């Protein structure tokens, strides 16, 4: 070794490798390939028919933007960032949770009977009632949902036969029953499972699906879907589609055993009796077929009711000839207290298609269904129309008057559309029409005495479609307009929390600075939105429900029979309903709950139908 301890062995150092430089022969082999690639790109962008071969198109995300471009984007304002973080926290909570389980049935001892004059038990908080609310339901006068909450309070308390029904219309945003289904699961887990509700006789298109129902049909029904305005008499049924057959068409319905409570104790078959009407048969659990004639002197809505012991049952409906039958759908319910949330998707519909429903027909349909709340969620398709927002607002108001005028006893709520995004270079922003449409819908809801839920702001407002698309898992699909199945769950949770929050405040007399969940200044109506003034924010318009103003103090809640005489104080026609919220405020008594229709008020179902146990036809 050397004196400093290093090894004496000689270490051979490998010679330096030569630097490889491209030769003309190498360029000669690679160059043609590069030329062919460049020529192909030029050809793809020059010939419209070769658009499919273009690696990038204007409006597509810029390649590698997440790596190269994000540092140059401006950060969101602090308040907006905090709201986005709150929404993301809800999304993570929902996505991390186990899939919703079917609601647990009430034990028999939990169902109570109330005598006339007896008050409801006090409100009892349940797990999740105090969950953080990102976007609240806007109550402009404070009483827009009083009657619905009164019905819900009876279901919550477990009062016998207290079923709270909701009809939820909308466009493709609710097409696969995603958002209504997410709301239904949560409401039934909290307030009780009273069944799935309404289902069409067949699919009007492939996007109509209810995951909670085992459903099949043989594709032999002739259908008339409301978006095509194909019915001269306006009788489309509650779900917006009428189905005809001279024989052979059939459908079957059964509550899904894993995705729902899996039980039913009542089937209602919705149909039209008419001159020269044919017959259809019904069969339960593979038993004997019962035959129902639809012949009548004039056309009228009818229902065939089948009462069963609560359990797993399958209903089969078949057109049996003797003429043409005309059916609408089937409802599946249970006899226990709880909630039924009907998903009534009008896929592809403009908002104004609801006006195609004949007024008397709609009155009969809602009269039989007896809903406590109507929810509207339209606007996605209307964004494609060249229409001033003042005109659209007037259309929406007319739709609300048309529907609520057919059943003045029910409350109403407008859900704003989902964010609709567009790609502008490297960014994904909201289409400019979205904010203007939300403002118009808010104005229409306020004018007609409805509550309002700003779905767009609940998603995060401007640019939310892009954020929902980029997160993993995605919450919105590639068209930046329709939520994914996981997005449905998040939206359902956001809405459910807002609804329960408002319900708890109603029951307890709670007070906040405002009922609106958004502190934004709203959106000015621009580009021809004259007539929507007053929609630029909710300052001062959304009233808090101070304890002295709340009708639902525990001691003031009505009994089953209380307040029935006040039902007629609401407008009894679409024309009368045009006075909107002001008319409702004038017609209601000082104690709001006394004006709430009692559960069971009005004609009973026994008056409208009779069970198939008697073997006869159901007549209205």
CATH code for the domain in which residue 295 is found: 2.60.120.1360
My answer on whether 522 and 544 are in the same domain is yes
Residue 99 contacts by C-beta under 8 Å, 6 or more apart in sequence?
none
My answer on whether 361 and 296 are in the same domain is no
Q: Could you tell me the two tokens for 426?
A: 């490297």
My answer on whether 174 and 204 are in the same domain is no
More confident residue, 50 or 441: 441
Q: How far apart are CA 602 and CA 13, in angstroms?
A: 102
Share of the chain above pLDDT 70, in %: 71
pLDDT tens-digit series, residues 517-543: 443 333 333 333 333 333 333 333 333
My answer on whether 391 and 530 are in the same domain is yes
pLDDT at 24: 59
pLDDT at 18: 58
Min mean pLDDT across 103-112, 252-261, 313-322 is at 103-112
pLDDT at 38: 80
pLDDT tens-digit series, residues 481-496: 999 999 999 999 999 9
Mean per-residue pLDDT for 244-262? 95
pLDDT at 113: 86
Q: How far apart are CA 84 and CA 356, in angstroms?
A: 39
Structure confidence at residue 23 as a pLDDT band (50, 70, 90): low
Would you tell me how many other CB atoms lie within 10 Å of the CB of residue 94? 19
Boundaries of domain holding 310: 195-335
Would you tell me how many other CB atoms lie within 10 Å of the CB of residue 52? 6
More confident residue, 347 or 8: 347
- Rounded to two decimals, the pTM is 0.74
- Checking if the pLDDT of 46 tops 90, the result is no
pLDDT tens-digit series, residues 441-474: 999 999 999 999 999 999 999 999 999 999 999 9
Structure confidence at residue 21 as a pLDDT band (50, 70, 90): low
Mean pLDDT estimate for the chain: 80
My answer on whether 455 and 597 are in the same domain is yes
- Checking if the pLDDT of 313 tops 90, the result is yes
- Three-state DSSP state, 216: strand
pLDDT tens-digit series, residues 262-312: 999 999 999 999 999 999 999 999 999 999 999 999 999 999 999 999 999
Domain count, the chain: 2
- Checking if the pLDDT of 170 tops 90, the result is yes
Residues 376 and 400: beta-carbon distance below 8 Å? yes
pLDDT at 570: 33
- Checking if the pLDDT of 333 tops 80, the result is yes
Does residue 107 lie in a domain region? no
pLDDT at 307: 97
Beta bridge partners of 345: 170
Bridging pattern class, strands 427-430 and 421-424: antiparallel
More confident residue, 456 or 45: 456
Bridging pattern class, strands 163-170 and 373-377: parallel
Q: How far apart are CA 109 and CA 436, in angstroms?
A: 51
Would you tell me how many other CB atoms lie within 10 Å of the CB of residue 405? 20
> Using CA of residue 606, residue 611, residue 615, residue 620, what is the dihedral sign?
positive
Would you tell me how many other CB atoms lie within 10 Å of the CB of residue 69? 15
According to the per-residue pLDDT averaged within each range, which of 76-85, 274-283, 419-428 is highest?
274-283
Does residue 141 lie in a domain region? yes
My answer on whether 291 and 266 are in the same domain is yes
Does residue 177 lie in a domain region? yes
CATH of the domain at 593: 3.40.50.1110
Q: How far apart are CA 477 and CA 468, in angstroms?
A: 9
- Checking if the pLDDT of 596 tops 50, the result is no
Least Cα distance to 143 among 595, 592, 612 occurs for 592
- Of 335, 352, 382, the last residue of a domain is 335
- Three-state DSSP state, 218: coil
Q: How far apart are CA 276 and CA 207, in angstroms?
A: 33
Min mean pLDDT across 51-65, 296-310, 420-434 is at 51-65
- Checking if the pLDDT of 258 tops 60, the result is yes
Q: Could you tell me the two tokens for 350?
A: 């403009």
According to the per-residue pLDDT averaged within each range, which of 138-147, 517-526, 601-610 is highest?
138-147
Residue 503 contacts by C-beta under 8 Å, 6 or more apart in sequence?
149, 152, 153
- Of 312, 335, 358, the last residue of a domain is 335
Share of the chain above pLDDT 90, in %: 60
Does residue 581 lie in a domain region? yes
pLDDT tens-digit series, residues 542-584: 333 333 333 333 334 544 333 333 333 333 333 334 444 444 4
Q: How far apart are CA 270 and CA 17, in angstroms?
A: 86
My answer on whether 160 and 210 are in the same domain is no
pLDDT at 507: 95
Residues 514 and 542: beta-carbon distance below 8 Å? yes
My answer on whether 364 and 295 are in the same domain is no
- Of 301, 335, 369, the last residue of a domain is 335
My answer on whether 189 and 200 are in the same domain is no
- Checking if the pLDDT of 89 tops 50, the result is yes
Radius of gyration of the chain measured on its C-alpha atoms? 29
Does residue 309 lie in a domain region? yes
DSSP alpha helices (H): ranges in 471-573?
485-508
Does residue 11 lie in a domain region? no
My answer on whether 388 and 498 are in the same domain is yes
My answer on whether 168 and 181 are in the same domain is yes
Does residue 417 lie in a domain region? yes
More confident residue, 308 or 207: 308
Does residue 51 lie in a domain region? no
More confident residue, 508 or 117: 508
Structure confidence at residue 79 as a pLDDT band (50, 70, 90): low
- Checking if the pLDDT of 499 tops 80, the result is yes
- Checking if the pLDDT of 402 tops 50, the result is yes
My answer on whether 302 and 438 are in the same domain is no
pLDDT at 592: 34
């Amino acid at each position: 070794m050397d004196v400093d301890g290093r090894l004496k062995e000689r270490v051979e150092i490998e010679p330096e490798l030569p630097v490889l430089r491209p030769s003309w022969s190498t360029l000669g082999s690679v160059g043609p390939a590069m030329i062919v690639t460049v020529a192909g790109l030029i050809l793809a962008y020059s010939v419209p028919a070769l658009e499919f071969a273009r690696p990038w198109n204007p409006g597509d995300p810029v390649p590698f933007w997440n790596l190269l471009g994000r540092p140059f984007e401006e950060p969101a304002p602090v308040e907006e960032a905090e709201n986005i973080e709150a929404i993301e926290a809800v999304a993570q909570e929902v996505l991390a949770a186990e899939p919703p389980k079917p609601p647990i049935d009430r034990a028999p001892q939990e169902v109570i009977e109330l005598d006339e004059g007896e008050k409801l038990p006090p409100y009892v908080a349940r797990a999740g009632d105090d969950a953080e609310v990102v976007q609240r339901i806007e109550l402009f006068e404070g009483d827009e949902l009083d009657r619905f909450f009164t019905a819900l309070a009876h279901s919550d308390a477990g009062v016998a036969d207290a079923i709270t029904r909701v009809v939820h219309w909308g466009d493709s945003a609710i097409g696969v029953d995603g958002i209504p289904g997410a709301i239904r699961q949560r409401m039934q887990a909290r307030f009780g499972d009273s069944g799935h509700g309404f289902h069409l006789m067949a699919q009007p298109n492939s996007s109509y699906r209810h995951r909670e129902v085992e459903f099949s049909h043989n594709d032999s029904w002739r259908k008339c879907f409301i978006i095509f305005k194909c019915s001269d008499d306006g009788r489309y049924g509650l779900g917006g589609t009428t189905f005809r057959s001279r024989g052979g068409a059939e459908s079957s319905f059964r509550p899904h055993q894993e995705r729902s409570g899996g039980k039913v104790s009542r089937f209602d078959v919705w149909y039209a009796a008419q001159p020269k009407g044919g017959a259809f048969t019904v069969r339960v659990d593979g038993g004997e077929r019962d035959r129902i004639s639809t012949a009548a002197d004039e056309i009228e809505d009818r229902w065939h009711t089948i009462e069963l012991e609560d359990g797993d049952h399958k209903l089969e409906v078949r057109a049996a000839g003797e003429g043409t039958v005309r059916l609408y759908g089937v409802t599946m319910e249970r006899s226990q207290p709880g909630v039924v949330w009907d998903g009534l998707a009008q896929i592809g519909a403009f908002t104004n298609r609801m006006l195609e429903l004949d007024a008397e027909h709609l009155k009969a349909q809602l009269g039989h269904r007896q809903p406590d709340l109507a929810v509207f969620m339209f606007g996605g398709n209307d964004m494609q129309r060249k229409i001033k927002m003042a005109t659209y607002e007037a259309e929406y108001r007319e739709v609300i008057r048309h529907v609520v005028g057919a059943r003045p006893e029910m409350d109403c709520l407008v859900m704003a559309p989902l964010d609709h995004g567009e790609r502008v270079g490297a960014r994904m922003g909201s289409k400019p029409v979205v904010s203007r449409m939300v403002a118009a819908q808010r104005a229409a809801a306020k004018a007609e005495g409805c509550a309002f839920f700003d779905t767009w702001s609940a998603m995060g407002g401007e640019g939310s479609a892009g954020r929902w698309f980029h997160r993993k898992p995605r919450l919105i699909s590639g068209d930046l307009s329709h939520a994914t199945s996981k997005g449905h769950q998040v939206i359902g949770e956001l809405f459910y929390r807002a609804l329960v929050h408002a319900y708890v405040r109603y029951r307890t007399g709670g007070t906040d600075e405002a009922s609106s969940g958004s502190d934004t200044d709203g959106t000015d109506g621009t580009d021809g939105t004259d007539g929507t003034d007053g929609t630029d924010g909710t300052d001062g318009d959304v009233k808090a429900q101070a304890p002295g103003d709340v009708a639902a103090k525990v001691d003031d809640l009505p009994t089953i029979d209380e307040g029935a005489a006040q039902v007629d104080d609401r407008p009894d026609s679409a024309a009368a309903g045009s006075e909107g919220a002001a008319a409702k405020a004038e017609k209601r008594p000082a104690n709001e709950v006394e004006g709430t229709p009692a559960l069971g008020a009005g004609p009973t179902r026994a008056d409208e139908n009779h069970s198939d146990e008697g073997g006869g036809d159901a007549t209205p």
